[in-house]
Amino acid sequence: MFKNYKEFKEYADENGILIVDFKEVDMAGRWHHLSVPIEYFTEELLSKGIGFDGSSYGFLSVEKSDMVFIPDLSSAFFDPLVEMPTVTMIGDIYKITGNGYERFQNDPRYIADKAEQFLKKSGISDECLFGPEFEFYLLDNIEFRNEINHIEVHIDSAQAGWNTINSPHDEQSRNAGYKILHHKGYHADIPHDTTYDLRNIMIRTLEENGIPVKYHHHENGGPGQVEIEVKSATVREMADRTQKIKYFIKNLAIQYGKSATFMPKPFKTECGSGMHIHIQMNKDGKPIFYDENGYSKLSKTALSAIAGILKHSDSLLAFTNPTTNSYKRLVPGYEAPVTVCFGNANRSSVIRIPGYAMSPNEKRFEFRPSDATCNPYLAYSAMVMAMIDGIKNNLDPTELHFGPYDKNMYSLSEEEKKYIRALPKSLSEAADALESDNDYLLDGGVFTKEIIEGQLKKIRSDALEISLIPHPVEFEMYYDL
């Protein structure tokens, strides 16, 4: 938003800004923040930064945890969600050394920078563009309790099919009907689509804060599943936008009496929420994924990029699908891909080539497994590194038996399944894959061994924690044995 401190100061004076808020991302992808009064935001602060405890972010151990973040003026935006006039900006993380500061190699935002620089240095492309589709549920109530003797979750949505008799939370109120039944939510219209006005507010807020939106609609899940798809941007910029998108969606939902969740599988038999990612590359201002004579008009470069992603898909999931709940979505029958292959217009494959994107500037492919519980800086960067590996090594997805497949991959025969690899079925399997397949991430110093080890430690810890907890359904199945 701002090129220098002078531009910021002029804007702050003209708009009565009173607070400057700083966002920093932790390893899990959550934003933390710290705020200062406008009087304290000086050129000196901008150059020296603000100290913080890096151990609380999972970056450093407690005995050597002092770090500094320096605000990035170009990331600044006016925050319409808070009461006092506030400008928010993202901080870059620095490590304290004997000679001053140096950029912290494991800062997720810096990893995205390094991935973009490595791509340019490779000569493959000047820019890689990511265009995510954000699926999420807008709910009216969520309650959960996890104690040694009491495990319970209760979720409610006013428009859900189970509320055809009683209105939620108020038995005396009138129920007007118009509920969305199980699996019947795709492109539902008003009055069934009860969150339409709220989504309009969300997308206008995104547009006003520099995030162009393609469209939004109700998704398949009847209890309030919706989607907002945004226009493409470069790796770090889209990671920044992803953080902002989740920030605006969650907080606007709260302001309007709803709760938004990007949890991949909150409901047992409803569709899960993913974050399908459309990918393009340009060089010298021209698209390099298009070839009039290629399969589905894809160039050899695009096919090699696809091969790189599919080759490394199992280890990629440790970053793109980093929660135990992610793998409850990646199951057959719920519109989520489970088969490591690619195909034209095939939504059952890991890589789908949109059939309607036919012009050179539109030509792209879509990575379908990922979900929005990821740290976007790490997930997008890992995908770039997999594509670079595929292109540098001239991989051919057909020679590697990844397709193309233009059939429903959910209905393969047992004989056909023998020749096609499936995605990891659990977070532990994804962790095993990352442990054995990570050299492509370390290429050019983009990722570090510390980042990979840190991710493995976190996701293995999560998997172990969940594995130790009895599931309520187990009591139905086994209590009386």
The catalytic residue positions are 53, 133, 135, 219, 227, 276, 347, 366, 368
Q: Which long-range contacts (CB under 8 A, 24 or more apart) does 42-46 make?
A: 43/5, 45/71, 46/5, 46/70, 46/71, 46/73
Chain-centre distance of CA 375, in angstroms?
Answer: 6
Chain-centre distance of CA 356, in angstroms?
Answer: 24
Residue 123 gets the label, from left (phi > 0), alpha (psi -120 to 50) or beta, of: left
Strand positions, DSSP E, 322-443: 339-344, 349-353, 365-367
**In 274-375, which ranges are continuous DSSP H helix?**
300-311, 313-320, 326-329
3-state DSSP: the chain helix, strand, coil percent, rounded to 5? 35, 25, 40
HSE at residue 133, side-chain half, CA atoms within 13 A, is: 19
Query: 474: burial class by Cβ within 10 Å (0-12, 13-18, 19+)?
Result: exposed
Asked if omega into 470 is within 30° of 0 (cis), the reply is no
Inter-residue contact 267 to 155 (CB < 8 Å): yes
Q: Which residue has the tokens 């006003």?
A: 208
Q: How many CB atoms lie within 10 A of CB 12?
A: 17
Q: Which amino acid is at 130?
A: F
Token duo for residue 416: 């056909």
Inter-residue contact 37 to 19 (CB < 8 Å): yes
Q: How far is CA 351 from CA 64, 180, 396, in A?
A: 43, 30, 14
Token duo for residue 233: 């941007």
> What's the alpha-carbon Rg for the chain, to the nearest Å?
23
